[in-house]
Amino acid sequence: MKVELEELQQRWGACKAQDDEKHALITALLAHIDAQSSQLSKINSELEDKNIVIKAVKQDKEVIKSQVETLQQERDRHAFVFVIIDGDCMLFRDELVQAGLEGGKQAMSLLKQSVEKKLKTLSGSVPPHLQVIIRVYANLQGLAQSYQNSGLLSNGQTLEEFVRGFNMGDPLCDYVDAGNGKECADEKVKALFRHHLDDVHCRRVLFGASADNGYARLLGPYAQDNAQKQRICLIEGPPFERELADLAPNFETASFDVFRKSQQLPNANRRVSSASSSNYASAARKTPSPSTQSAVLSTAASSQERSPVKILRNSKGERLDSKLSYDQHTLNSLKVRKLCNKYALLGKCPFESSFGSCIHAHSQDLNEREKDALRAIARMSPCPTGSGCSNGQCLFGHVCTKSKCTGLGCRFPKDLHNISSVVSSEQIVI
């Protein structure tokens, strides 16, 4: 009996030990689960925080991306190309300057067309509807004197008309008088070059001053700057001066036909023409050399095809314009049509021949009354040669067309006012 009790006690002890082991195991498992649960909660909390941060970053990224796109669109919307010309060393072609107001309009149009054509060939993308801003700076007083000394112009009024026409051609294109100082134009050109090169809206700077070595110091620092030099294009009118020629391979270059190929104006070579009146010699001193008369006005038709033309002169040898027969209604209607005077009246447009285009409409479908009205319109611009003009094809006015004009604010120079209208002699030219 005693043996059985001991055996039962042993068996109970074994069962109790197993229960204790189970309890310990379960307790350990519960503790482990609790620890893992706490760890998981902590990780979940951290993950939730990170998700919030990631979501916020994504939202911020989208906002920033949208802002960047908006800024890029704004930049592209206001993008432009800046063309800066030193007008003291980059002269427009003689025939354009001699044509005064119309020549100025044509010069602006041709320059802008040349720029737009060049932009299509430049490296890098350019946004659509890119604006072209043109600035020409020159010492107009000195330039006018140089033109008169060379015999290309008889007075400074023609250059003023040319500049006025240039400025009328496009609201973003200006020909500006920089002042009478020797370096006035240079300083303005340099300042605007730097200013626009730093402007994020400016995609390209087209720089025209090929005949002035002084600009080598301006361009030198940019020659090794890969980012900046890609935005610079050098315009060649006259051949690049030596220092500029050394720098030119580092930049894109362009050559535009609208500029003279030489900075040096010809020397005056005037001669007195013979005339039936002894007083004609004094007026002939205003007549330019034969080379000058080969400009726009004389290229309208071949001399072999021309019929003799009668030029009227008064007792002083000053040229008079023949009377015309037209009515004001016809004149006003023709003004609106903006016809090319030379093409309509002479049969040939020198601008189209030289540059391949003309800013005015070409039409020869005019009756005699309309032709007279168009001649009257042409005579509203003064002749660059003045009273001594002997060009039978000249369409410009040689006497101020306004009655009782005092000359104040008039586009005609003083010497084309108060001219006697009494015909004293006739000059026959071919």
pLDDT computed for residue 413 by the predictor:
86
Mean pLDDT of 241-269: 85
Query: Do residues 152 and 266 lie in contact, with contact meaning Cβ atoms separated by under 8 Å?
Result: yes
Backbone angles phi and psi of 138, in degrees to 5: -155, 160
Q: How confident is the model at residue 281 (pLDDT cuts 50, 70, 90)?
A: very low
Given the structure tokens 């050098």, which residue do they identify?
234
* Amino acid identity at 259: F
β partners of residue 398: none
- Helix H or strand E encompassing 255: strand 252-255
Backbone angles phi and psi of 206, in degrees to 5: -100, 120
Strand ranges (DSSP E) for 21-91? 80-86
Q: How confident is the model at residue 427 (pLDDT cuts 50, 70, 90)?
A: confident
pLDDT computed for residue 280 by the predictor:
32
User: In degrees, to the nearest 5, what angle opens at C-alpha 429 toward C-alphas 427 and 430?
Assistant: 165
Per-residue pLDDT tens over the stretch 237-253: 999 999 999 999 999 99
On average, the pLDDT of the chain sits at 84
Q: How confident is the model at residue 298 (pLDDT cuts 50, 70, 90)?
A: very low
pLDDT at 276 over 50: no
- By C-alpha distance, which of 244, 188, 252 is closest to 219? 244
- By C-alpha distance, which of 83, 87, 141, 101 is closest to 263? 87
Give CATH for domain 78-255. Answer: 3.40.50
Q: How confident is the model at residue 232 (pLDDT cuts 50, 70, 90)?
A: very high
pLDDT computed for residue 301 by the predictor:
38
Query: Do residues 303 and 430 lie in contact, with contact meaning Cβ atoms separated by under 8 Å?
Result: yes
Backbone angles phi and psi of 316, in degrees to 5: -90, 0
Q: How confident is the model at residue 322 (pLDDT cuts 50, 70, 90)?
A: very high
Query: Do residues 397 and 383 lie in contact, with contact meaning Cβ atoms separated by under 8 Å?
Result: yes
Query: Do residues 343 and 362 lie in contact, with contact meaning Cβ atoms separated by under 8 Å?
Result: yes
User: In degrees, to the nearest 5, what angle opens at C-alpha 170 toward C-alphas 81 and 370?
Assistant: 150
Q: State pTM to two decimals.
A: 0.60
pLDDT computed for residue 274 by the predictor:
33
Query: Do residues 145 and 88 lie in contact, with contact meaning Cβ atoms separated by under 8 Å?
Result: no
Distance in angstroms (rounded) separating the CA atoms of residues 264 and 330: 44
pLDDT at 407 over 50: yes
- By C-alpha distance, which of 425, 413, 375, 122 is closest to 286? 413
pLDDT computed for residue 277 by the predictor:
34
Which residues 6+ apart lie within 8 Å of 106 measured at CB? 96, 99, 165, 351, 355, 358, 359
Q: How confident is the model at residue 125 (pLDDT cuts 50, 70, 90)?
A: low
Q: How far is CA 33 from the centre of its chain?
A: 79
Q: How far is CA 63 from the centre of its chain?
A: 37
* Amino acid identity at 119: L
β partners of residue 311: 427
pLDDT at 286 over 50: no
Which residues 6+ apart lie within 8 Å of 262 measured at CB? 238
Q: How confident is the model at residue 297 (pLDDT cuts 50, 70, 90)?
A: very low
Neighbours of 110 (CB within 10 A): 25
pLDDT computed for residue 267 by the predictor:
61
Dihedral sign computed on CA atoms, order 375, 379, 383, 386: positive
Q: How confident is the model at residue 104 (pLDDT cuts 50, 70, 90)?
A: very high
Per-residue pLDDT tens over the stretch 27-66: 999 999 999 999 999 999 999 999 999 999 998 888 888 8
Per-residue pLDDT tens over the stretch 194-217: 999 999 889 999 999 999 988 999
Mean pLDDT of 136-164: 90
pLDDT computed for residue 292 by the predictor:
37
pLDDT computed for residue 11 by the predictor:
84
Q: Is 317 left (phi over 0), alpha (psi -120 to 50) or beta?
A: left
Tokens of 241: 């001066």
Residue extents of the structural domains in the chain: 18-75, 78-255, 280-429
pLDDT computed for residue 278 by the predictor:
34
Mean pLDDT of 268-288: 36
Q: Measure Cα distances from 201 to 133, 161, 196, 222 in Å.
A: 12, 33, 8, 19
- By C-alpha distance, which of 217, 207, 280, 208 is closest to 243? 217
Per-residue pLDDT tens over the stretch 349-402: 888 777 777 888 888 789 999 999 999 999 988 888 888 888 888 999 999 988
